[in-house]
Structure 1
Amino acid sequence: MELSSSRVSFRSVRFAVLGCVAVVSFFLAIQLLSASLQTLSSVVRPVLTRQMDPLSYVGMSWLSAYVLLNGSIVAAIALSLFSADLITVLELFLLVSGSRLGAPGIILLIGALEFLRAPSYSLPEAMRLGTLTFLVNVTIYAPATVIGTAVIRVTERSAWARDVPIDGRAGGVGLFEPLTTAMIDQLGAAPSALVAMLVLVGSFHLLDTLLNRVSVDWLREQVFVFLQHRWLSLGLGFAVTAVTTSVAFSMGVIVPIYNRGYIRRDEIVPYVMGASLGTLTDTLLVALILESGAGIAIVLLLFGAAAVSTIAALSVYDAYYAFLEEVQNALLENNRTFAVFVAMLVAVPFALVVVPG
């Protein structure tokens, strides 16, 4: 009994230590990346200020979210570029919104891995939650992008002033400044930026790895019963994603039970919508770490626009769900159609990048 108890205690301590490492690494990476980009501004600015169609920024962040398997990392890099005064307010908004469109890539991958582990159903069926998540994200963030872009274009530039700092020293963020300065002095700005991005990616993946080891039996048995209630389902999806800062966890935890038919599609859609909104909470945290008032305002603008889209969809939920069901059924009816859909997931953002507007 004592041996078993000591093992549990060791696992708990190990989990807590690694969790702290992930959080500290995240904070350090954000500040190091921002400071490095500020130092490199004279080199990076000519690359970023060349004439580009606004939709190119959406396509770039969309594809980048696929590559990094995490839209939050892309949004964090975009905020770092903005903090270094290398991109405009509109470009920041489009980069963050595009990262949301690419976020379901990890859910599609989880479905594919589930198929490899238990190939009792076809690949399209195994990836149907990822497909549904993508459709929900598009219906929320496509109109939100249009709304937010219109708001930015019609407001005065002074409304998005950069000189409205948020004092983050009270939260201990300033403690990293001597370390980031020393690293840039010793390594140089460019290597420091590379190290920062590697640490940022590592911190997100470490957190996801830790969350994947958490027992979710209680969550599945006691909490997911609330998915039967539309607004509670929305709130649950938002809360789980906001607390864990990991859509891979909040969505990945329900992939097996959804694929096995324990949750109906009409029950899961509001949860997916809530999780989609919850993914912006870690982006808001990055803006707070960078002490960027304008960055916070942009994230809140996207959140507000996405919330409007979500509430509008839930207000006409029967029609909205019928539309999603019709589209998803069409995509999953045969392997050829599904293959075209998967190809379009890459072709559309790529076209936004390479095709001039």
Structure 2
Amino acid sequence: MTSLDRGYSPSTIDDAGVSIPDRSRYYSLDAMRGFAAICVVATHFQERYAPSAYLAVDFFFVLSGFIIAEIYGKRLSRGLPFQGFMTARIKRLYPLYLIGILVGLVQIILLTGWGLRDQSAIDLLVSTVVNGVFLPSPMYFLQTKPMQGMFPINGPAWSMFWELLVNIVFALWLFRLSIRALCGVALVSAALLVFVGLHYGMLNIGWEWPSAVGGLPRVMFSFTAGVVISRLFGGMPAWRKGWAAIVPCLLLMICIAAPVPLLLRPYYDLMFATALAPLIVMLGLFLEMPAKAEAWATWVGYISYPVYILHRGVIGVFKPVAGWIGLNGPLAFFVLLSAVVCFAYVTARLLDRTMAMQTRPAR
């Protein structure tokens, strides 16, 4: 999620049962990642509802760098093995990821049965298998009319591929670097990001094979920026606790929902990814939610990853059904959003309970 991990709190018990003695939960960051996930749902329902929402991924990558550095940076320095780190990451991400793949597969089968999609059985089979293990589908190079994207079974899964890749880079290399060296990595990545952003005319790249080359600088800059933020500001007390914390939340939603003229698109995208996304994360650290909003912010953050990874398949089935019954416009979106949130929350809760039962010691 990217930093959409459910229930993140740097002061709670982590995956290995080790207490992380840092600042209490970052409620503003919880709220922001939830709002960003909702904007992604909006753009996949109707692009005009949030035409810049693909930039939410750049925000997620910054947030991911911050969170991973907060939770695992010191533990890796103290000897946490690479295998232990990756096991913890996959254990946290994979159950919902796999459900997202299954939901996407069911969606494609239904749409094919309804005569709304047409692709070869081999494309569907191979893409399902490789997407199911976090790998992009090679069928783009093997079919005359392949399914769209590197992860055609569940579109949002593409960011999980880059997320795990940069997690590997972090565990093998980035966590060892000084702040100065991290800034150097960020600057080089930013230069490459500017190049690919200007080349493609936007940053909606890295999710399909023709623009796959743009995925690496996109994730490397944002994730590294998040690590730098952690090194500089992680664990610091908030400057202010109160309703002013709504400001960075609103700023994020405005930035990723704003319509932008085509001529300004590459410059806007690059400004957001290289400057605004890191700034908004820092504002989320400095401006904390009031006590009255903590439970709400926690819940919004909790559903962010489930909503993000599960919504695409739901939308694929919902849109033709809504069209058949005459449901459209904003009302259709609110019905969809309610369905997605409910499905995501129930699924996440059932998974949590199942995993808790599996890890509960036998009497």
Instruction: Name whichever structure is richer in helix by fraction.
Output: 1
Same-fold call, TM cutoff 0.5: no
Flag the structure with more relative contact order, 1 or 2, with Cα contacts below 8 A and sequence separation at least 6: 2
TM-score normalised per structure 1 = 0.30
Tell me which structure has the larger Cα radius of gyration. 1
TM-score normalised per structure 2 = 0.30
